Amino acid sequence: MLTRDALHGLATAPPGGLVISVYARTDPRDPANTSSTPAWHIALRDGLSTLSDRLEASDDRDQRLAFRSLRGRIEEELVDMAPAERARSVALFVDIEGGRSQHFSLQLPLRGDAVVGDNRPFVSPLVDIADRGAPTGVILASGELVRLLQIEQSEVTEPENSTLELTVGDWRRFGGAAGGSPDRGRQIISQKERYEARVDAQRQHLFENAMTQTAGRLQDLGWERIVLVCEREVASRFRELLPAELSERVIAESDLNLLGEEPHAIADALEPLIEDAWLRRTTALVGLARERAEAGGAAVLGAEETFSALVEGRVAHLVLDPAHDFSDVADMIHPAIGGPAEMIGERAVETAVAAGAQVTALAGADSQDLRDAGAIVALLKY
């Protein structure tokens, strides 16, 4: 799995010789990948061909020769990977001078394929994976059971001691007809009432215990988001018990009956729900940036102001369309960001990651506010 440390290391790598970054959306569920030559393989060949044309037209003889010898190896390395290693996407980085390579198998599919040659790793697609696949705690609850899971980058784990079951001690339900004397009927009714009260008290204890454990998991596992999956009649009561620090991290709720399913089946069922919740929260974040900026608050809109804030280290959360062409504003960008012009967006991502800011990639087609702002906005620390 892609870790934060690995991402930070790639984003802050000092510029050097040519690094070839390959992104292949190998997802076998994608209909485009079901033919004898899958779409990702065609895109890989096309990308390598385009990069070859660029290098052949350059004046750097050493890079041309090095790429000629590595081109076939790069294609072969991806083609020869076992299906499990290709997973649903692959990111591959090759240092053309030393021929060293590093790759990541990803269970969350990339948005698309890419081959990029630059003097450092191209990290924008990986930053998107880390953001969309942020650690998410899943709380599955019924009236008698609470189960905790974690999903990160579509990989699901079940922490130890994460299932809590309702127990009622040695109490038992009395059934049957209340025949005989009226006193006997009243006793049975009274016993049932006490039984129900005991169950209700135990259920309250169960939920409170689950909340205590979940709060602890936030610190231990770094859950940034929470999905609540439970019966509708349980949901309102469960939410009442959520402390503020948990409640504000709930991104979605569902009444899907998943409590007894295998972890991988739960992750598959919740993936669209988590993706939709991510999109809603991200577009709302852009709207918040616009409102703050227009009110003179801690936010900026547009390339010039956002890049200046990045250089000054004031950005808390950067949102941009990584596919946007910022070359038309390259002359206005602070020189510390660096070029070439077609890599301006990538440099913004690298600068933000190096400074510890959050980064979110959002397609302009998904947000009118982002399009109006020139494809880039930021919430500021101050």
Q: Who has greater pLDDT, 220 or 316?
A: 316
Beta bridge mates, 81: none
Instruction: Determine the average pLDDT of the residues in 191-216.
Output: 78
Distance from chain centroid for Cα 77: 27
Which long-range CB contacts under 8 A does 252-256 form with residues at least 24 apart? 252/227, 252/228, 252/276, 252/277, 253/227, 253/228, 253/229, 254/227, 254/228, 254/229, 255/229, 255/230, 255/231, 256/229
Q: What is the pLDDT of residues 23-46, one digit of tens each?
A: 999 999 999 999 999 999 999 999
Which pLDDT score, from 0 to 100, does residue 186 have?
55
Find, among 10, 4, 6, the residue nearest to 121 by Cα. 10
Please tell me the distance from the alpha carbon of residue 141 to that of residue 139, in angstroms, as a whole number: 6
At 69 the three-state DSSP class reads helix
Instruction: Determine the average pLDDT of the residues in 60-72.
Output: 92
Considering Cα of 317, then 229, then 367, then 28, what sign does the dihedral take? positive
pLDDT of 190 > 80? The answer is no
Neighbours of 380 (CB within 10 A): 20
Beta bridge mates, 367: none
Q: What percent of the chain has pLDDT over 70?
A: 92
Give yes or no for a contact between 21 and 104, defined as CB atoms under 8 angstroms apart: no
The residue to which tokens 């205590």 are assigned: 212
The residue to which tokens 């135990």 are assigned: 202
pLDDT of 174 > 50? The answer is no
Q: What is the pLDDT of residues 285-309, one digit of tens each?
A: 999 999 999 999 999 999 989 999 9
Prior bond to 322 cis, omega within 30? no
Q: What is the pLDDT of residues 76-98, one digit of tens each?
A: 999 999 999 999 999 999 998 87
Q: Who has greater pLDDT, 177 or 107?
A: 107
Query: Taking the chain, what is the end-to-end CA distance rounded to the nearest angstrom?
Result: 33
Instruction: Determine the average pLDDT of the residues in 207-223.
Output: 76
Min mean pLDDT across 119-123, 146-150, 233-237, 276-280 is at 233-237
